[in-house]
Amino acid sequence: MSAARLSSDVSASDEAAIAARLPDYLARSYARYSNFTVASAVVDEQGGVHFGVNVENAAYPSGTCAEQTAIGAMITAGGRRIARVYIAAGSDAVVQPCGACRQRIGEFAARTCEIVSVQGGAATVRTPFWSLLPEAFGPADLE
Ligand code: THU
């Protein structure tokens, strides 16, 4: 991935490569309680790509979502602004981020951030992130 791109600028070939890799990450998901595997990729504004899977726990509420894991990877790598979030599920479902993950994504989402659902290794439904979290509570509220 090349550096210093604008948030809306994930090339079609980069997108195809990310979507094609998500099924491999689905196989790494730890979903022994729900059997609902989820994989996510967060692309930051520098073009860095950060993958994550859901990681469940015997103490059920301690489990983490795929998007949460991917955001943690982005922050750890030094990324701070999310351009796109790719989400794939092990079922045929078109998965949108859960409510808690919308809040987590919103903390870092660029104005033009998009959520892209991936099915069968290809991008399908594309949703403007902020349409999923209108009137959000965010960092500015604490200033
Ligand atoms: N899950 C995610 O990882 N991301 C979502 O956006 C929706 C739900 C996970 C959490 C749990 O491990 C499983 O899917 C079933 O809810």
The string of pLDDT tens digits covering residues 10-65 is 899 999 999 999 999 999 999 999 999 999 999 999 999 999 999 999 999 999 99
What is this structure's pTM?
0.93
**Cα 66 to averaged position of ligand 1 atoms, centre (Å):** 7
Residue 56 marked in a binding site: yes
Question: Computed over its alpha carbons, how large is the radius of gyration of the chain?
Answer: 14
Domains in the chain: boundaries: 12-135
* 22 Cα: distance to centroid of ligand 1 (angstroms): 15
What's the CATH number of domain 12-135, 3.55.50.30, 3.40.140.10, 3.40.710.10, 3.40.50.300?
3.40.140.10
Mean pLDDT of the chain: 94
